[in-house]
Amino acid sequence: MSIATTNPATGKVERTFDALTEKEIEDRLDRAAAAFARHRATLVAERAACMNAAAGILDDEAGRIAAVMTTEMGKTVTAARAEAHKCARACRYYAERAGEMLADRPVDAGAVDAERAWLRYLPLGPVLAVMPWNFPLWQVIRFAAPALMAGNVGLLKHASNVPQTALFLEELFARAGFTEDAFQTLLIGSGQVERVVRDPRVRAATLTGSEPAGRAVGAAASSEVKPSVLELGGSDPFVVMPSADLDRAAEVAATSRCLNNGQSCISAKRFIVHAGVYDDFERRFTDLMRSRRVGDPMDESTDVGPLASEQGRADVEEQVADAVEAGATVLCGGERLPGPGWYYPPTVVTGVRPGMRMYHEEVFGPVASLFRVGGVEEAIELANDTSFGLGANAWTEDPAERERFATGLEAGQVFINGMVTSYPELPFGGVKHSGYGRELAELGLHAFCNVKTVWVGA
């Protein structure tokens, strides 16, 4: 098992790390349990001061951690800096709002024959977070900020190709002044995750990642009667109707599909366009995809960097080749770029049909499928013809169509006339095979709380 920084732009291993031994894992779990006893006793205001300090570090050192992220998984350095600043915003959001979110909530005492009755929000304990490489800072912060503010402590099992980012996160919360060991990074392989999930010192688990990984962690947590939150894959639809602003829709479509080099669960992947505007949209969208600059992710002018791994690029190549062999047409891209690194160009494919891998699977690279439909109901039927349900886009100026898409699209979030993204203020999560539970906003903070009912008799 390899825990290493391998630069996707060159394919070269830059740094390797040893996995924790069983004895070291035991020590980390003991320290987490001890830290929880101390951390839960701190005041919310104390935690908020630390969380604001973490935000300051993220803003001040955005350039340093951005370079690490770009080296480890290939996102453009511009996007990596933006990710660090977004994390700082989330930290400040929870520092400011957690007191209100955790405050006791009175209920109607008379209705339950009490003198007083209320809800109290209490932490559960150590929470294991199994996190992916594609947004290596943001995915962790959106769990850690609410969990720590609620009084829980965190154990991070990060993806094995972003170990330096994982260690930075442990360093971040320690430097910010949180209780010692309130947040620890576990450098372990995927084969050791179940053992940690099942450990009685761990009280809950959360995972962002692939569907198979989610099934494994969810099953282990469930069998131990522990709560879990899962955010898995997505094959998000992007519906364009005749009343849409086509220039804006096409630009957002290209931006979404190439976001993070095409490696985002909530990027639009299936572009479902009304026949009345299909030809115009196809031309604009394909031109925009073709114009994206592919290159060195450390270059400020680069739009699309390499995919994170050699296997990831091979998977994308195989999905496109499968579609072409079965009759699909490539309008741009479609072949790996020459030279070192795991680069794959922005690609547009038409004629994708049921039975092709691209129709049924998530494509984790800058590859778009274009579909032509005749109306709203056909668009919704095609959009929902997937096992996933993470996010969805709809572009229309018609109020009735907006309402129909908002209700009819099977997804955890529907964005109308805008790109699906995540905000600290909005709950985030999916349905169907995209997972369950919600991160962010108040629901994300309460996800790992004991919502305790307190009743006092008259």
Positions annotated as catalytic residues are 231, 265
273-308: burial string, b at 16+ Cβ within 10 Å, e else:
bbeebbeebbebbbebbeebebbbbbeeebbbbbbb
Distance CA 25, CA 116 (A): 45
Phi, psi of 373 (to 5 degrees): -130, 165
Distance CA 253, CA 285 (A): 7
Residue 304 DSSP label = B
Position of tokens 């999930």? 197
Residue 369 DSSP label = E
Burial class (CB in 10 A: 0-12, 13-18, 19+), 450: middle
Helix (H, G, I), strand (E, B) or coil at 347: strand
Q: What percentage of the chain's residues is helix, strand, coil (to nearest 5)?
A: 45, 20, 35
* Residue among 131, 115, 157 at smallest CA distance from 19: 157
Contact 164, 15 (CB under 8 A): yes
235: left (phi over 0), alpha (psi -120 to 50) or beta: beta
Distance CA 133, CA 153 (A): 21
The single-letter code of the amino acid at 140 is V
Position of tokens 């070192």? 340
The tokens describing 59, both together, are 């803003």
Residues 6+ positions from 256 with CB-CB distance below 8 Å: 238, 267, 268, 393, 419, 420
204-208 and 126-130 beta bridge pairing: parallel
Distance CA 90, CA 206 (A): 18
